[in-house]
Amino acid sequence: MTDLSRRTVLGATLGLAGAALLPGRPARAAGSMTAAVYPGGWDEALRAVLSPALKQAHGVDVAYEPLFAVDQIAKARAARGTAPFDVFVLDPGPRVSGIDLGLFEPFDPARLPNRDKLPAGYADTVGAGVAAQVVGIAYNPKKLAKPAGWRDLFKPEYASRLGLTGFGTTFGTISLIEMAKVFGGSESDVEPLFVELRKILPQVAAVAQPAAMAGLFQQGQIDVMYTNTYTVTLLKSRGVDIDFAVPETGAAAFGTTMHIAKGSKNIDAAYQYIDTMISTPVQAALSQAPYFFVPVNTGVTPGADVPVKSLDELKNFVSHDWSKINPLRARWIDRFNREMAK
Amino acid sequence: MGEGAWKLAVPLGLAQFSFFLAPLLLLAATSFATDENFSQFSVQAWLDVLGDSFHLGAVLNTLRLGALAVLATMLLAVPLALLHMVAGPGLKKIILLAAVLPLLTSVVVRTFAWIVILGREGVINTALLSTGIVSSPVALLQTEPGLILALTQIEMPLMLLPLIAALARIDPSLLDASSALGASLFRTLRKVVLPLALPGLLAGATLVFASAATAFISQSVIGGGRLAYLPALVWQQAMVVFNWPLAAAMALTLMGSVLAVAAALSALARGAQA
């Protein structure tokens, strides 16, 4: 065999392999973009409701990248200016980090035709609010009586069935802060929480990563945990015995916002994506079973099982100042690791 | 081998340099950097890892987990490999299939299956409770013994396959000679079979150790938040806390300690072969 024929064969093979790869890649035409989305309930909901609506209204294809809020920030930061996706979806803590790190394109609310449907202040120069999340206690009604509040979790009957998770997520952080408050702490002082945690730690059913909590609940390893209402409705729809309890000190609520990533090449599509997200049909569909999103669109009446009936009601929920929490969080995370270690 | 044979190694060498060595050097630089642009350097991250009892404890925990997983897999793999050596072709196939089977399922599925098995309402506890052996569920999930049990199943192929290969290379006439010279079965095993199988055993030990010590998903899901191991701490510092220098120093400590153990084992293996 001559060199030439070997090369021809090799070239042909590589060509074929390359051609085989091509159809798998989404077309990177003007009408396509990538959006980060929280894994789990959000991922399912946006793929089922937002994607087809966006395709229909603007002909834009969206590819989702499932990432928790902190992971989105970590990934965008590691990419050093090359946007790994076009749109972020974030909780307040990571939102403040993103602003501080300069990860967002300047946002112009005037480019959202549906902006009039949002309450004042929901769209600003960094992004737009697209939903709200409510955090409280989830428990198994077949195994435990409904807990009255955060303090109950420290009673033996609840503590021995409790699943703990640290300050790594927004829901974990604000739940632990709310517990600290019950014992005399505050947004910037969680020391009283650690004192109480030390007392119950030997009995606690599990200490786990946030992503493992739902699985542990489903398997009966834990029967009470702190989480957001989305996790509760998702597990309920899968047949898990789970109910949401609003603590006596109030459930905590926070807004979920979308932002356009700095350096995005699909800015037009990104605005269309966010605008479709806040549009009346999408918000209405998302507020119904099985998603139960808290709508931000003032024209939408929430579904029966949505924990917040109107945005006015949201003002009565406990909120937090993330510009105070963020600088303290790294130390709390480290402290939690050390306190939990056997 | 021809004069220019080294050229064949150039493509892989270049790929290794650009996709492995260069990022590794960058990681090392990150562990000393105080900001993202590498404008200033300090040894603070290293002091935080090596001078802190919690972090040192996590290093030792991780190494200990690797060592215990090696012991547990060895204990189960040696008899199974010996059985494979003397078994007929049918049984040989069954043993090999059983050995390879765990490799064919995803680590996430395997790990979740272990939650179902080890949990409070899991298979083991249900069996123990229904037979009346225990009156309340035994804690298995989120304990070190439970984690080692799961890792033993997950890592078993890495021990069993090199061991089976090493045993297959033993000349059967050596065993006949040993017994003809009056050695008991046990003595033949101890003096002939095990020394000859040692390279395979050490290769398996190296693989199991490296894999168990770095098994991030199994450690965090089955081990839980009360057992501190380096991989989960690296992830947390890098992805949640954004303390990249500390994450880099921890990652290099993990790599260094796993490599040191692997190097010690391979030195032993060379000694065994000599």
Confidence at residue B274, expressed as pLDDT on a 0 to 100 scale: 58
Confidence at residue A1, expressed as pLDDT on a 0 to 100 scale: 36
- When CB atoms are compared, the residue of A215, A330, A340 closest to B226 is A340
Q: pTM for this structure?
A: 0.86
Does residue A269 belong to any structural domain of this protein?
A: yes
ipTM of the complex: 0.87
How far is residue A119's CA from residue A312's CA, in Å, rounded to a whole number?
10
B3-42 pLDDT, tens digit per residue, is 788 889 999 999 988 999 999 999 999 999 987 778 889 9
How far is residue A197's CA from residue B168's CA, in Å, rounded to a whole number?
55
Q: CA angle, A294 as apex, A292 and A296 as ends, to 5°?
A: 140
Confidence at residue B53, expressed as pLDDT on a 0 to 100 scale: 95
Confidence at residue A312, expressed as pLDDT on a 0 to 100 scale: 73
Is the same domain home to A216 and A310?
no
Does residue A1 belong to any structural domain of this protein?
A: no
Is the same domain home to A34 and A138?
no
List, in order, residues 6 or more apart from A89 with CB less than 8 Å away: A35, A36, A37, A38, A42, A69, A72, A130, A256, A257, A258
Is the same domain home to A115 and A153?
no
Identify the burial level of B124 via C-beta atoms within 10 angstroms of its C-beta, where 0-12 means exposed, 13-18 middle and 19 or more buried: middle
Ramachandran class of B234: left when φ > 0, alpha when ψ lies in -120 to 50, beta otherwise: alpha
How far does B225 lie from chain A, in Å, by closest CA?
A: 5
Is the same domain home to A53 and A201?
no
pLDDT less than 50: residues of chain A: 1-29
Question: In whole numbers, what is the pLDDT of chain A averaged over residues?
Answer: 88
How far is residue B210's CA from residue B214's CA, in Å, rounded to a whole number?
6
Tell me the chain A residues in contact with residue B55 when contact means C-beta distances shorter than 8 Å. none
Question: Alpha-carbon Rg of chain B, whole angstroms?
Answer: 23
A131-140 pLDDT, tens digit per residue, is 988 999 999 9
Does residue B37 belong to any structural domain of this protein?
A: no
Is the same domain home to A17 and A27?
yes
% of chain A exceeding 70 in pLDDT? 90
User: Which neighbouring-strand residues pair with A227?
Assistant: A136
List, in order, residues 6 or more apart from B97 with CB less than 8 Å away: none
Please choose, from the candidates A88, A115, A38, A113, the residue with its C-alpha nearest in 3D space to the C-alpha of residue A297: A115
Is the same domain home to A329 and A191?
yes
Does the distance separating the beta carbons of A215 and B54 come in below 8 Å?
A: no
Confidence at residue B2, expressed as pLDDT on a 0 to 100 scale: 65
Please give the residue range of the domain that contains residue B182.
Answer: 43-273
Best of B48, B233, B239, B243 to mutate (most A CBs within 10 Å, chain A): B239
**CATH number of the structural domain spanning residue A100:** 3.40.190.10
Is the same domain home to A237 and A258?
no
Does residue B8 belong to any structural domain of this protein?
A: no
Confidence at residue A290, expressed as pLDDT on a 0 to 100 scale: 82
B231-274 pLDDT, tens digit per residue, is 999 999 998 888 999 999 999 999 999 999 989 988 887 876 65
In chain A, the number of structural domains is: 2
Does residue B32 belong to any structural domain of this protein?
A: no
Confidence at residue A9, expressed as pLDDT on a 0 to 100 scale: 45
Checking if the pLDDT of B218 tops 70, the result is yes
Mean pLDDT of B214-226: 91
Does the distance separating the beta carbons of B121 and A71 come in below 8 Å?
A: no
| Nearest chain B alpha carbon to A70 | B240
Does the distance separating the beta carbons of A337 and B233 come in below 8 Å?
A: yes
Q: Which residue has the tokens 């509040």?
A: A149
The shares of helix, strand and coil residues in chain A, as percent rounded to the nearest 5, are 45, 15, 35
Does the distance separating the beta carbons of B240 and A168 come in below 8 Å?
A: yes
Q: Where are the alpha helices (DSSP H) in B181-229?
A: 185-188, 194-213, 216-218
How far is residue A265's CA from residue A267's CA, in Å, rounded to a whole number?
6
Is the same domain home to A47 and A36?
yes
Considering only CB atoms, which residues of chain A are within 8 Å of chain B?
70-71, 73-74, 77, 80, 97, 164-166, 168, 205-209, 212, 215-216, 219-221, 329-330, 333-334, 337-338, 340-342
Does residue A3 belong to any structural domain of this protein?
A: no
In chain B, the number of structural domains is: 1
B34-83 pLDDT, tens digit per residue, is 877 788 899 999 999 999 999 999 999 999 999 999 999 999 999 999 99
How far is residue B263's CA from residue B188's CA, in Å, rounded to a whole number?
30
- When CB atoms are compared, the residue of A219, A221, A333 closest to B240 is A333
Helix, strand or coil, per DSSP, at residue A136: strand
Please give the residue range of the domain that contains residue A166.
Answer: 134-250+324-340
**CATH number of the structural domain spanning residue B206:** 1.10.3720.10
Backbone φ and ψ for A131, nearest 5 degrees, come out as -170, 170
| Nearest chain A alpha carbon to B108 | A212
Q: Are A257 and A87 in contact (CB under 8 A)?
A: no
Confidence at residue A21, expressed as pLDDT on a 0 to 100 scale: 42
Confidence at residue A121, expressed as pLDDT on a 0 to 100 scale: 86
Does residue A262 belong to any structural domain of this protein?
A: yes
Is the same domain home to A239 and A331?
yes
Is the same domain home to A245 and A307?
no
How far does A38 lie from chain B, in Å, by closest CA?
A: 15
Does residue B24 belong to any structural domain of this protein?
A: no
Is the same domain home to A115 and A202?
no
How far is residue B109's CA from residue B107's CA, in Å, rounded to a whole number?
5
Does residue B149 belong to any structural domain of this protein?
A: yes
Does residue B206 belong to any structural domain of this protein?
A: yes
